[in-house]
Structure 1
């Protein structure tokens, strides 16, 4: 898969992915609006070109407060994200070329105010979805939010994802309607963060095409 070219799908107006990106960006805006005063930390797993956060932060009033780490394995997308951050003058946004499944790459950023898990759950198997949600307890501070995505094709895993979050101390804030193909959800952590455990692997990336029945 050429992941740089894949991102071109976001540029097709009114496509499912374009609508998903718009929904994610709106939820990021609302989350930043609601964060308490002071420094903020944001972590994005499998961040791609960083379009979700970088599409919001340059014009947001909380911009000076945000320190962010975008973790992405594909080096060409990492460079594009880094270039976009530099062009916007976002000196506290770093794009890291690394395996986002390894929580070690979030060291120094957890627990975060906002954790983005977008484009992940549709590319990994069910046990790894649950394991990743469990790992969010290491990544998210009390009162922080996880914004996540998952398509709603059969089998629709969105109801299960909500249950798995809620079993682990997360409160459902918002989920797109069931008839929207590219689902987006927001869960807020009401529990106590678990200390980051070095060596924790949250998932193995399989790929959407290989998971289709």
Structure 2
């Protein structure tokens, strides 16, 4: 997969990917709006160019409270994110599936799992959801995406989150053509277990 070419679809305002990005950004804004007073630690796995969060921080009134780590394996995409990121956003070029990457930033108030669930196995999705309990403080928001092509796993993903101590906040309708989900962690944070690999990308994802 040429991920840089894939990301160019964000620049086409009529593309499904561009519309999904705007939806994710709206949910990031809402998550920052409802975050409790004080610092807002955030992490983004497979962050790409960082648009999900970085664009929002340009004008959000809580931007100064956010301290974030974005992890992206592709060095070109990570470099673009680093160029655009404000001072309080750290961009790491590395494997986002490794739990070690988030040491010092978890438990977080905002966890972004965008562009992942369409590229990994069902078992990988379930491991990532379970692993998210290490990433989240109580009340944290997790925002995730998944395509709505067959098989449409969005209902199952919601079930897996909700069985793992998350409550549904919002999920986009199938008529949009893409899936964006928002869940809030209602459980007790689990300690970060270093050395875990939560997922690996498989060919043919989107």
Q: How would you bin the TM-score normalised by the shorter chain? A: over 0.9
SS at match of 1:56: helix
Number of the residue aligned with 2:8? 8
Query: Counterparts of 1:82-121 in structure 2 under 5 Å?
Result: 82-85=82-85, 90-121=86-117
Number of the residue aligned with 2:198? 202
SS at match of 2:159: helix
Question: Can you list the C-alpha shifts for 1:39-86, whole angstroms capped at 9, x where unaligned?
Answer: 11010000000011011011011111110000000001111000001x
- Structure 1 vs Structure 2 CA RMSD: 1.0
**Per-residue deviation, 1:14:** 2.0
- Hey, what's the Cα distance between the residues in 2 that align with 1:83 and 1:14? 26
Number of the residue aligned with 2:69? 69
Runs (5+) with no aligned partner, structure 2: none
Number of the residue aligned with 1:125? 121
Query: Counterparts of 1:50-199 in structure 2 under 5 Å?
Result: 50-85=50-85, 90-199=86-195
Runs (5+) with no aligned partner, structure 1: none
- Hey, what's the Cα distance between the residues in 2 that align with 1:116 and 1:151? 16
- Hey, what's the Cα distance between the residues in 1 that align with 2:3 and 2:128? 22
- Hey, what's the Cα distance between the residues in 2 that align with 1:196 and 1:66? 21
SS at match of 1:55: helix
TM-score by length of 2: 0.98
- Hey, what's the Cα distance between the residues in 1 that align with 2:149 and 2:20? 15
Number of the residue aligned with 2:33? 33
SS at match of 2:43: strand
Paired residues, what number?
A: 206
- Hey, what's the Cα distance between the residues in 1 that align with 2:13 and 2:49? 18
